[in-house]
Structure 1
Amino acid sequence: MSVRVRRIYEPPEPDDGLRVLVDRLWPRGLAKDEAHVDEWPKALTPSTELRKWYHGGGSYEEFRRRYEAELDAPEAAELVDGLRKAGRGKRVTLLTASKSPEQSHAQVLLELLKG
C-alpha cells in the first residue's frame, strides 16, 4: 500500500489514487466539486473534543496518544482496515486542510496505515 498526506488545497494529481478527506469539517473556501474527494470517513477523524484540546495548546505527543486510542474504537478500526484493503496495489492520498500536516492527525493516520 502506498499512502501519502497532501493538503486538500493543492490541486489533484493523476497519481493521487484514492483521495480520502480525513478532516471532520469541510475545508473553508473549497467547493466540493473542486476537491475531488472519493471518501470522507468522519469516524476516522479526531473527536471534536480532542481537536479543540490540541488546538488549545495540547502537546502533539499527547494528542497522538489520545488519537491512537480513538482509532482503536470499533468503528474507526473497521474504517482503517477498509482503507488498507482499498489501498492494496494502489495509492491512497490522505487529504487535510491542516497548515502543518506533519504535526496533525493525518500524519498519525499515515503512520498507522503504513505500519
Structure 2
Amino acid sequence: MHDYAIELGRIYDAPSPLAGGMRILADRLWPRGMAKATLPADEWYRDAAPEPALRSAYHHGEIDYDAFAAAYRQQLDGSPDTLVPLMRHVRQGPVLLLTASRDPGRSHLPVLCQAVLDALAAEDRACEDGTRSSPVCYSGQTQ
C-alpha cells in the first residue's frame, strides 16, 4: 500500500514550502481580490469543486455540513473521471489542495481529499491484482 501526501490550505495564506509538491486551487470560483498573475498555486482545477447549487445551499445555511459532504461525495462518485488529474498529481508527489474558504476543514476539501485517496486505493488494489483498469495505474510506475 502506498502513502500519499495531500494537505489542505487557504489560497490567501502565505505559501508554505512544499518539498517537490504541487499546489492546486480546487475552487469553482476565482478567489476574490487575487490577480491570476499572483496566484500562489501551480494549477487551478475547478472541475472537481461542488456544483454551484450545492455550494450555494451550503453557504446560505440551507443544508448543514454533513448533508453538504454527503451530496458532494455523491457528486464525485457520479463522475469519477473528475478525480483522475488530481490522482496523477498525488501519485507524483505531495499535493496541497487550496480553497478560498475561511475554514478549509469545513469546506469541500476534506471530502475531495478522501475521494482522491479512496480512488487511489481502489486503483492500487486493481494494479496489485494485475487488473490495471486505467492509465492512472501507470502514472509514475516503470514497466
TM-score tier by shorter-chain length is: 0.7 to 0.9
Larger-Rg structure: 2
1:72 corresponds to which residue? 77
The runs of 5 or more residues in structure 1 that have no matched partner are none
Structure 2: which amino acid aligns with 1:70? Q
Structure 1: which amino acid aligns with 2:39? A
Whether contact under 8 Å (1:64, 1:105) holds in the other structure is yes
Which digits, 9 at most, give the CA deviation of each residue in 1:5-52, with x for residues without a partner? Answer: 110011223316111111111111111122132222222010110011
Choose from 14, 18, 36 the match for 1:15: 18
Counterpart CA distance in 1 for 2:53 and 2:14 is 30
Q: Report the TM-score when normalising by structure 2.
A: 0.72
Whether contact under 8 Å (1:8, 1:97) holds in the other structure is yes
For structure 1, which segment, 93-102 or 11-20, has the greater mean C-alpha deviation from structure 2 after superposition?
11-20
Instruction: Identify the structure with bigger relative contact order (alpha carbons < 8 Å, sequence gap 6+).
Output: 1
Counterpart CA distance in 2 for 1:89 and 1:30 is 28
Count of residues paired in the alignment: 113
After TM superposition, list the pairs within 5 Å mapping 1:1-115 onto structure 2: 1-15=4-18, 17-57=21-61, 58-74=63-79, 77-115=80-118
The runs of 5 or more residues in structure 2 that have no matched partner are 119-143
RMSD of aligned Cα (Å): 1.5
- Aligned residues: percent identity? 39
